[in-house]
Structure 1
């Protein structure tokens, strides 16, 4: 069957073509109906199947073999993906008959529409950035680097960012057909990272560079590197830094410029370690360590550019690690502390365990938490009047506890959470910030505590990450 002969009403492999939705440079999208109702056998679809689209490669519209290989890559990767940040996969057809991929149709809007309205309000830019970073973290945890993050490949549905089009992606545990067959840079000109220009496809922070380009554009209405169409034009980003965002926008806060320019660093090691860290700092800018990037008001001078240009010539950017390895190098570790009177011995035990863990995970970021328990119905008036002082006192105590660990300021954060349920406060924090490991203390095992349960037991039972409980016989 030829893709040129597809028509409305045609049926094959149990699907009926209902409507052609879009024709792009490499594929056409059709709305389809599953005549076999295969969703009845899929968990999570008991209430019905979502609208389906079929992606069909345009085999005869281009002489570029990249399009065919990219479609093969997407056919390999999509069945491996799951979660709310990717379309649900339903099936695929082979090239020996009719190649296609059937997937969930995302009902929301794409990011492209917002770009036409740029520059956007700063709070909207931050919200978009957090959603995309969370989607990237979820993708990276599934061993996939997207490598083509751009407005048309980002959708929004039910308040979440959904990533689409995995034709240029790299999966740690699958063959990289694109790397095996092609040597030219693969990506989209304005968003491609410096290492992709040099042929590197195993660096997850390439996606953070692309997100930095998106944030720059949403804030300023301009692209940081223009729209190059040649390899020589792409290589300019190896040595020519972008105009600082505040030159385009006077109300640019220092912390947001710091984040955007850090994402756009040439060296991946100078960017954020993970998308989770980027999402966290967008939501908690007070925890960000500012550098000279924050106040920068002009591009680097001639000598700096020349120096970088000579360094870029023959630069060896082949990075010998995978997305899985990068995430394992930069985990987020939470230590949950109760620093009330009488807990000194347990606090010291927690510090020793934390020190040992950080020695084995030198790239980790540590978040120190303590919970100020509040009433479910209302707060005591004295607590309201003194709340700020109590909060500050507990924050100081956290920093005092952490001081002997000698952690760089950009690798540690401190949080006093207020909640009527300490366990859920810790669990929610871990989920919202993609925490990899929680360290928590347990004061003992009295009969009353065994009967009522404990904070540590609830965290162990309900947290989505690894939990280490440090026990102590303090009463």
Structure 2
């Protein structure tokens, strides 16, 4: 590798980095107008054989990935001539450059972790577990999206796991490695959430939760020993943030967030985080608990999932868009039946009940209704009442009242920002407003970034006592009754 050399049409520039397993070179290509990097494995005498295997994994995985959260891949070369991967060069520095600023303000750290969680959600949907989440593996685009790099230790559910097949020891960065990795489990996406929990703990306290140990013996302690709660280190640590961090750092993967999308949801809505005993803890687990974990390993060993897709499918974020005005009972009951069917097949699903308080474009919006009640609070209470029969744990249910001029746009934006997997929305009934303004449910169904179920009540159930059909989509403009749409 020399500057000016040509490899498969790529012209080699300068070497910009030499790591433990590969070097990075700038390259150009006459048909590609974006900045490029060529990654070349270290294969000389005395190099770690794992460097070759991990490079093979990256060669297989990176070209199969897409989206803003990964660098685009522009070519690969095999080992017969010159092994390489050419990828998009992301401008800027990795998150590693922020270590000198630690601890970060809580809000800034929350925003960073939320963007990383969104990136992990996208990666997991593409059947990939990163397995090396750490500051030096994370960059950010100018638009703000987190970009994950370095896929040499990753697991792809549809590809051979060469690291698992050829090596018995776990490969990764010790301070960030999930405990189940020490038991040989590589196909559970919740391992990445543990690593993100370590990063969030570190960035908000300035201390790594498990220290700096690199020995396998030292790492095995995390199979039975939990870290000090952040509130032990910082008295002003927000309870909602400790709840999130300690849930990510649970030893048993089943006690963590089920998906990165659900973690991102909590990070985006800290005021909605359901606080448990975790949020107030000041001390580590009692010694009796620690000894039971250590000497009864068979009872706590995590069981690998059959595949990444199965884990995600059992834990979707479901958005239910509801009308809260009188006369909507038939449709809301039909929506309840549909939601029950979805939840029955998804044991770890999260339900977000949403109502849109439509704003007037001309008239002044009033906070109180005709009875003097706060409209926003009244709708929150109605949503909670509607969802109560599901009997969901508080950590699996949130209610939201959105204020917007365009209800469909508000629902679509909420779904996109919060990584919603499934929207359940009621359809408008026949009305003049529907013909004039169009259907909100149709717009949601046509533009949503996820699956959509449009629900209609039976014709008889939808009719009122006078035989009329309620208009469930006319909103709160002055000429229409108040409601969702």
Q: Is the 8 A contact 2:314 2:345 kept in 1?
A: no
Task: Kindly report the root-mean-square deviation, in angstroms, between the aligned alpha carbons of the 2 structures.
Answer: 1.9
- 2:17 corresponds to: 22
Distance 1:100 1:349 in 2: 56
Q: Does 1:80 align with 2:64?
A: yes
1:111: Cα distance to partner?
0.7
The number of equivalent residue pairs is 459
- 2:302 corresponds to: 317
Distance 1:113 1:359 in 2: 45
1:382: Cα distance to partner?
5.8
Q: Over residues 131-164 of structure 1, what are the superposed CA-to-partner deviations in whole Å (9 max), with x where a residue is unaligned?
A: 1000000100111000010110001112111000
Q: Does 1:185 align with 2:170?
A: yes
1:186: Cα distance to partner?
1.6
Find the residue that maps to 1:32 and give its secondary structure: strand
Name which of 79, 85, 92 aligns with 1:101.
85
Find the residue that maps to 2:416 and give its secondary structure: helix
Superposed, 1:278-289 pairs within 5 Å as 278-289=263-274
Name which of 401, 405, 414 aligns with 1:429.
414
Distance 1:274 1:185 in 2: 23
- 2:473 corresponds to: none
Distance 2:145 2:135 in 1: 15
Superposed, 1:27-426 pairs within 5 Å as 27-35=22-30, 37=31, 39=32, 49-60=33-44, 62-158=46-142, 159-312=144-297, 316-376=301-361, 379-380=364-365, 389-426=374-411
Question: Given the superposition, is the C-alpha separation of residues 322 and 379 from structure 1 closer, same or farther in structure 2, using an over 3 Å criterion?
Answer: farther
Q: Over residues 98-128 of structure 1, what are the superposed CA-to-partner deviations in whole Å (9 max), with x where a residue is unaligned?
A: 0000000010221101122111111111011
Find the residue that maps to 1:345 and give its secondary structure: helix
Q: Is the 8 A contact 1:346 1:443 kept in 2?
A: no
1:351: Cα distance to partner?
1.1
Q: Does 1:458 align with 2:453?
A: no
- 1:10 corresponds to: 5
Distance 1:452 1:430 in 2: 22
Question: Given the superposition, is the C-alpha separation of residues 385 and 123 from structure 1 closer, same or farther in structure 2, using an over 3 Å criterion?
Answer: farther
Give unmatched runs, 5+ long, in structure 1.
1-5, 40-48
- Which segment is superposed worse, 318-327 or 64-73? 318-327
1:313: Cα distance to partner?
7.1
1:385: Cα distance to partner?
12
Distance 2:430 2:12 in 1: 63
Give unmatched runs, 5+ long, in structure 2.
463-468, 470-485
TM-score by length of 1: 0.93
Q: Is the 8 A contact 2:367 2:375 kept in 1?
A: no
Q: Over residues 422-456 of structure 1, what are the superposed CA-to-partner deviations in whole Å (9 max), with x where a residue is unaligned?
A: 00111111111111111111132446524531110
Question: Given the superposition, is the C-alpha separation of residues 9 and 335 from structure 1 closer, same or farther in structure 2, using an over 3 Å criterion?
Answer: same
Find the residue that maps to 1:136 and give its secondary structure: helix
